[in-house]
Amino acid sequence: MIKKFIFLLSIAGPTFAGTCPDSLESIDGGWKTVFECQGDTLIRSKEIHLKSGNITRKQSYNSEGSITSVDSWNVEGVHTYSGKISYLEDNHFVEETFVTRGPSKGKLISRDEKIGSSEDNTLLKSWVISSSSYKQQAIKHFHNGEDKPYRIDVLSSVGEVLKYYIVKYNKKAPLANLVSEFQAFNPNGEMIGNYNESSEFEVVEHLRKLNLDSKETERRINIYNNTKREPVVIIDTGFDIMHPSLTHKLYNSPHDTPNDGIDNDGNGRIDDSWGWQRQDDAGLSLLIDNRNIRETHSLIHTPYPVSHGTHVASLALRGLESYGLVGFAGDVAISDHLEKANEYISEKNVKFVNMSFAIGYPGAPLSAPRDSFHFLEEMIRSNTETLFVVAAGNGRAALDLDIPGNDNYPASYNFKNMIKVGALNTASLNIADYESYAPASFSKFGNSKVQVFAPGQGVVSAQSGGGTIALNGTSMAAPFVLNTLLKAHELNKRLTTEELKLILMKTVYIPESGRLPCESGGFIQPDKIYEVVELIKENNLSVEEAIKSVMKR
Ligand SMILES: [Ca+2]
Ligand SMILES: [Ca+2]
């Protein structure tokens, strides 16, 4: 029998705490407890099962008498369970749980700060600790009696507060834990970001409010007003369309005039000039209108608001003026969302799509419904001239996509019009460091299922609410590749997406130490791609000739 053991020690005061008991041994039923002291201070205790002779518990104490570590075994001597300890700190009652077995022994797995007593208490703060790395990620602060935090501190790996968020929830979707509004602050209390998913918004007006010099303001207004730009579809979590790096990049569709309340192109979406937000269709009337493609922050999977689509879109469109963002925001596991995106891509003849997402594989736990796989596959299969740039996926295990059972869609589809991108362990490319780059530890790979690697670790790009953030992921590597190909395409718009892919594949850098685990065997070299494109344009060379010429140098 395993004796379930949760030890709560509430210390009233220092008077008797940590004092060595009069007798160094006590017997209680079938167990004996042995105490170890240094002078008058109790430092350790051991509980022994008398019948088997096995130790069933070991505890260490600090000078105040608080338990600092607990180890437990069952009577057969098998190390079994975690100990929970508690103590008073600044009149608050702190409860901590540690790992007590295996190589992670002693690591903190939970920490809560409460007010009251061990029997009757209210949670004030709760630490979010990664269950895989045991790193502290965040502290959630609660109002007395409320179960959702109003403030969330972002922690460094050593527990320092890096920044904090004051959050407000979307009351229409209580279960989804959606944050509709937040402000971000640095540790000195200065505001560094301000996000509100439903504040009034008009593009040109907003560009004028950005506090830029008049020349830059006009430049951005002109970019936005250019309805001849090519649409780039980005299917992601959503986009902070008020972010200074994105507002002027929004597509200004010639098909559907924004703000007139009319579905001018008859595609069933009113004013979908720069994309749409799928959440509205799910029966959650969350956002003010169809045009609102803003990032929806759900705190179900992450401890604090995390920017994904905003980061991806800003990377994909960085430095480009002749492309516009058509954002498809929302839950990519919903089949209707994928079906509608497919219709849009076909109808408007969209050439470039970014997919920094994965929906598992059919039948896998937590994967999308089977219909979603059908529409996702259909989208890529039927739009043969569209190039789909896809994140290979992140994971801690099952990283080799070539091994059956490690599937991860869309990355596991094998269509010619896809480029599936793994992440390198770098944020940018510097030719002096080429030999030091390797696939990031979290990146999926595959000699047939992944085509190329690109920077994906510590990549700095736009953050929802304002400013920038460094993120890791193949999600960041895919838009790096798309951005490079768009720049190449901007240099020579006659190039087909197939030719662009060929140029990318044939100009990669293959390390001298060996091929990277992907089809091309290397990572993207933007400069070589641009050289090839320039050569094709200036010397009227074929794609193959230009590649040969550049790669011979
Ligand atoms: Ca429309
Ligand atoms: Ca319209």
pLDDT band at 81 (very low <50, low <70, confident <90, very high): low
CA of 270 to the centre of ligand 2 (A): 5
Please give the DSSP secondary-structure letter assigned to residue 256.
S
Q: How far is the CA of 298 from the centre of ligand 2 (A)?
A: 29
Give the model confidence (pLDDT) of 399-415 as tens digits.
999 999 899 999 999 99
Percentage of residues in the chain having pLDDT higher than 90:
55
Q: Which ligand is nearest to the CA of 266?
A: 1
Q: At the topology level of CATH, where does 203-491 sit? A: Rossmann fold (3.40.50)
Give the Å distance between the CA of 294 and the centre of ligand 1.
18
Distance CA 420, CA 445 (A): 9
What pLDDT is stored for residue 244 in this prediction? 95
Cα 487 to middle of ligand 2, angstroms: 30
The whole-number pLDDT of residue 435 equals 96
Distance in Å, CA 260 to ligand 2 centroid: 5
Give the residue among 437, 472, 479 at the shortest CA–CA distance from 456.
Answer: 472
pLDDT for res 500? 98
Token pair belonging to 424? 């390198």
Residue 215 CA to ligand 2 center (angstroms) comes to 29
Q: Which residues of 470-492 are buried (b: 16+ CB within 10 A; e: fewer)?
A: ebbbbbbbbbbbbbbbbbbbeeb
pLDDT at position 13 over 60: no
Structure tokens at 417: 């019009």
Neighbours of 40 (CB within 10 A): 8
pLDDT for the residue numbered 115: 86
Between the CA of 261 and the centroid of ligand 2 the distance, in Å, is 5
Position 178 confidence tier, pLDDT thresholds 50, 70, 90: confident
Give the model's confidence band at 204: pLDDT under 50 very low, under 70 low, under 90 confident, else very high. Answer: very high
- Higher pLDDT among residues 411 and 117, named by residue: 411
Centre of ligand 1 from the C-alpha of residue 409, in Å: 29
| 292 CA → ligand 2 middle, Å | 13
7 pLDDT tier (thresholds 50, 70, 90): very low
The pLDDT value recorded for residue 74 is: 73
Residues 57, 73 contacting (CB under 8 angstroms): yes
Residue 307 has pLDDT above 60, yes or no: yes
For 191-219, what is the mean pLDDT? 90
Where do the structural domains in the chain lie, given as residue ranges? 203-491
Q: What integer pLDDT is reported at residue 65 of this predicted model?
A: 67
CA-only gyration radius of the chain, Å: 28
The set of residues, in sequence order, having a beta carbon less than 8 Å from that of 515 and lying 6+ positions away, is: 521, 522
Predicted local distance difference test score (pLDDT) of residue 179: 87
- 101 exposed, middle or buried (CB, 10 Å; 0-12, 13-18, 19+)? middle
Most confident range, picked from 130-134, 279-283, 400-404 = 400-404
pLDDT bin (cut points 50, 70, 90) of residue 444 is very high
DSSP structure class, residue 508: P
Q: Indicate the DSSP class of residue 253.
A: -
Residue 282 confidence (pLDDT): 47
Ligand with minimal distance to 290 CA: 1
User: How many Å lie between the centroid of ligand 1 and the Cα of residue 275?
Assistant: 9
The H or E element spanning position 92 is strand 92-98
Range from 22-36, 143-157, 426-440, 536-550 carrying the lowest mean pLDDT:
22-36
Mean pLDDT, range 539-550, rounded to an integer = 95
Q: What's the pLDDT band for 180 if we cut at 50, 70, 90?
A: confident
Q: What single-letter DSSP state applies at residue 176?
A: G
If one counts every other C-beta atom within 10 angstroms of the C-beta of residue 36, the result is 13
Residue 278 tokens read as 């799928």
Under a CB-based contact definition with an 8 Å cutoff, are residues 10 and 88 in contact? Answer: yes
Given CA atoms 148, 151, 157, 158 in this order, what sign does their dihedral have? negative
Compute the average pLDDT of residues 271-291: 63
Give residue 255 CA to ligand 2 midpoint distance, Å: 8
CA of residue 499 to ligand 1 center, whole Å = 32
What amino acid occupies position 164? Y
Q: Is the pLDDT of residue 286 over 60?
A: no
Q: Averaged over 204-213, what is the pLDDT?
A: 93
- pLDDT band, residue 426 (cuts 50/70/90): very high
Ligand number, closest to the Cα atom of 260 = 2
Q: What is the mean pLDDT of residues 470-478?
A: 96
Mean per-residue pLDDT of the chain: 87
Identify which has the larger pLDDT, 440 or 50.
440
Percent of the chain with pLDDT over 70: 91
Gap between the Cα atoms of 161 and 163, Å rounded:
6
User: What is the helix (H) or strand (E) element at residue 382, kind and residue range?
Assistant: helix 370-382
Do 303 and 138 contact (CB within 8 A), yes or no?
A: yes
Question: How many angstroms is it from 272 CA to the middle of ligand 2?
Answer: 7
pLDDT exceeds cutoff 80 at 505: yes
Looking at per-residue pLDDT, the higher value among 81 and 166 belongs to: 166
Q: How far is the CA of 276 from the centre of ligand 2 (A)?
A: 13
274 C-alpha to ligand 2 centroid (Å): 11
What band does 279 get if pLDDT is binned at 50, 70 and 90? Answer: low
Does the pLDDT of residue 291 top 70, yes or no?
no
**How far, CA to CA in Å, does 367 sit from each of 88, 213, 408?**
44, 48, 10
CA of 464 to the centre of ligand 1 (A): 26
Q: How far is the CA of 296 from the centre of ligand 1 (A)?
A: 22
Q: In this predicted structure, what is the pLDDT of residue 162?
A: 93
Q: Give distance in angstroms: CA of 290 to centre of ligand 2.
A: 11
Q: Does residue 72 surpass a pLDDT of 80? A: no
More confident residue, 13 or 484: 484
328 and 279 Cβ atoms separated by less than 8 Å: no
Residue 329 Cα, ligand 2 centroid: separation in angstroms?
A: 19
Cα gap 466→478, rounded to integer Å: 22
N- to C-terminal Cα separation, the chain: 73
